[in-house]
Amino acid sequence: MIKFISLFITFFLISCTTLEKNRNFERNTHSNLFDALDKEKNNFSSNLFDNEKFTIVSTYKNSNKLCRLVKFESDKNFYAETFCKIKGGEWK
């Protein structure tokens, strides 16, 4: 648990130093990202349509929700974003 929290804090601080963050990801425009969030394990990597790479870094769950920390990288920058959902819900 401490490892997850420290990793989350590290990526949060990294994401605060970049220009692009909190983008509006939607299933209909980023289907490969949402499919990975639904089905893939930690450390899974793939590319978005604009050659930006994403990696699922970690997963946290409790009785109410499931969250996944995702790192995004391009030639110019990188940042991390957390996606969460409740059981039966959509990633936000």
pLDDT more than 90, % of the chain: 54
In terms of pLDDT, which residue wins out, 23 or 86? 86
Long-range contacts at 49-52 (CB < 8 A, ≥ 24 apart): 50/74
pLDDT in tens, 1-25: 666 566 556 655 555 444 455 578 8
What pLDDT score does 50 carry? 76
The pTM of the full predicted model, rounded to 2 decimals, is: 0.74
Question: What integer best gives the mean pLDDT of the chain?
Answer: 84
CA distance 73 to 88: 29
So where are the chain's domains?
2-19+28-86
